[in-house]
Amino acid sequence: MKKFLSLALILVLTLSLFSVAFAEEYRVAYIARAQADSFAAWLANAVKEEAEKYPDITVDIFDGQANDETENSLIENAITNKYDCIIIQPNNGEAQRPYAEKVVAAGIICITTNARIDGIEGASSVDADPYEQAAVNARYALDKVPEGATAVILRGPAGNFHADERLKAWKAEFFDKRPDVTIVGDDYANWNKDEAMALMEDWVTANEKPIGLIASMNDNMCAGALEVIKDNPDYKDVLSFGVDGTAEACLLIEEGRMTATCLQNAYELAELLLDTSHKLLTGEETQIDTDVGNPLYTIDNVAELREIHVKAGALQ
């Protein structure tokens, strides 16, 4: 019985391999950083949706679970499975670099995205740069934050590439240039809204002078901090910044509670990714490096952000 089962299993596997080999479709593996990270999940969903517009492409999504080890083995598996194209959204660019090189060496089309892994011979890239995303916020804040204001920083998880890059941008583009601003709170809220709330509550209590700037590494934590001070009259002038351009941030900016966010437009990234994949797969081009913009949304242009979300069905 057992033998029969294993034989049957082998037969099915072989057949499925053949059917794959004979299909006209291009098979694309999309290795996501983490499905539990809301932006990464959003991007993966967008890629899946966008792929439906291409009848000759099927995309399989894999979850790197925010773990270098997992992500690397997923890349190796995709090579073994002979995908035609492998899209890597690195958890940590340097950790995935040798694996991206392996993809190229195996003669498979390799695209790195969000963020790009630089300098891989023969690989293409479609990027939204985390440093730049925070930098546009920081530059905008530079002349808005009043003299001698206090600031708090909400960090992403320790050691996370995106969190580190965005923090680097805030330090270099804002805090180094504005020594008059004192940082009164700086802690890890791990992308989480609830952790950001608890931190903000304590900071508000600890500081009699209202905090002037909330520099948050993503919108989720920024929304948490704003939740704490939403009915507090002392905080009507607080400036707050996030990254991602989530629907929640869009609403907060419209209400005038949040200052600005930098959009990582998952839809735009997905569109570009599929377009790039298609061009590379059909041999139209052999190497592409392209970028989506890092548009900053404030009260002045938030309507455009809303439009994107309405189109996607996230907002009415």
Partner 1 sequence: MQAKQSKANLWETIKSKYAIFLVLVVLFVICSLLNSNFLTWGNLTNISRQISVTTILAFGETILIISGLLDLSSGSVMAFAGTLSVMCYKAMGEGTGAMLVSILVAIAIAMFCNALNALMVTTFKAPAFIVTLAMQTMARGAALLLTAGQNVYQIGNYTVLGQGSVWIIPIPILFMIFFFLVTRYILSDTRFGRSLYAIGGNEAAANASGIAVNKVKTAAYLVNGVMVGMAAVLFMSRVNAGLPNGCIGYETEALTTAIIGGTSFTGGIGTAGGTIIGAFIVGFLNNIMNLTSVNSYLQQIIKGAIIALAVIYDIYAKSRRTRKKMGNIEDKAAKK
Nearer to partner 1, 108 or 198 (CB): 198
Q: Does residue 201 interact with partner 1 by CB under 8 A?
A: yes
Q: Please choose, from the candidates 110, 113, 107, 106, the residue with its C-alpha nearest in 3D space to the C-alpha of residue 123.
A: 110
Q: H helices then E strands: how many in the chain?
A: 11, 12
* DSSP element (H, E) containing 3: helix 2-22
Nearer to partner 1, 49 or 101 (CB): 49
Nearer to partner 1, 86 or 221 (CB): 221
Q: Does residue 137 interact with partner 1 by CB under 8 A?
A: no
Give min distance, CB of 187 to partner 1, in A: 5
Q: What residues does 27 pair with on adjacent strands?
A: 58
Q: Does residue 118 interact with partner 1 by CB under 8 A?
A: no
Q: Does residue 42 interact with partner 1 by CB under 8 A?
A: yes
Pairing of strands 182-188, 239-244: unpaired
d(CA 271, CA 226) in angstroms, rounded, equals 32
Site for partner 1 in 67-96 (CB under 8 A): none
Give min distance, CB of 64 to partner 1, in A: 13
Nearer to partner 1, 35 or 298 (CB): 35
d(CA 228, CA 201) in angstroms, rounded, equals 6
Q: Is 35 helix (H, G, I), strand (E, B) or coil?
A: coil
Query: Which DSSP state fits 102?
Result: H
Q: Give the N- to C-terminal CA distance of the chain in Å, as an integer.
A: 57
Site for partner 1 in 233-272 (CB under 8 A): 246-248, 251
Nearer to partner 1, 132 or 248 (CB): 248
The C-alpha angle with vertex 95 and arms to 219 and 159, in degrees rounded to 5, equals: 40
d(CA 34, CA 264) in angstroms, rounded, equals 16
d(CA 144, CA 133) in angstroms, rounded, equals 18
Give min distance, CB of 208 to partner 1, in A: 8
Give min distance, CB of 221 to partner 1, in A: 11
What residue spans of 64-129 are helical by DSSP H?
68-80, 93-105
Site for partner 1 in 167-196 (CB under 8 A): 184-188, 190-194
Site string for partner 1, 275-314 (x = CB under 8 A): ---------------------------------------x
Nearer to partner 1, 172 or 251 (CB): 251
Contact with partner 1 (CB under 8 A) among 36, 105, 299, 303: 36
Nearer to partner 1, 74 or 120 (CB): 74
Residue 19 token pair: 């059917």
State the helix-helix crossing angle for 219-228 and 247-254, rounded to 10 degrees. 40
Cβ-contact 89, 273 below 8 angstroms: no
Q: Does residue 116 interact with partner 1 by CB under 8 A?
A: no
Q: Please choose, from the candidates 106, 87, 205, 220, the residue with its C-alpha nearest in 3D space to the C-alpha of residue 166.
A: 220
Question: Which phi and psi (to 5°) does residue 105 adopt?
Answer: -60, -30
Nearer to partner 1, 111 or 204 (CB): 204
Q: Does residue 220 interact with partner 1 by CB under 8 A?
A: yes
Q: Does residue 199 interact with partner 1 by CB under 8 A?
A: yes
Q: With the CA atoms of 164, 170, 173 and 175 taken in that order, what torsion angle do they form, in degrees rounded to the nearest 10?
A: -120
| Stretch in the footprint of partner 1 (CB under 8 A) among 30-38, 118-126, 257-265, 272-280 | 30-38
Nearer to partner 1, 35 or 73 (CB): 35
Positions touching partner 1 (CB under 8 A) are 35-38, 40-42, 44-45, 184-188, 190-194, 197-199, 201-203, 205-206, 208, 220, 223-224, 227, 246-248, 251, 314-315
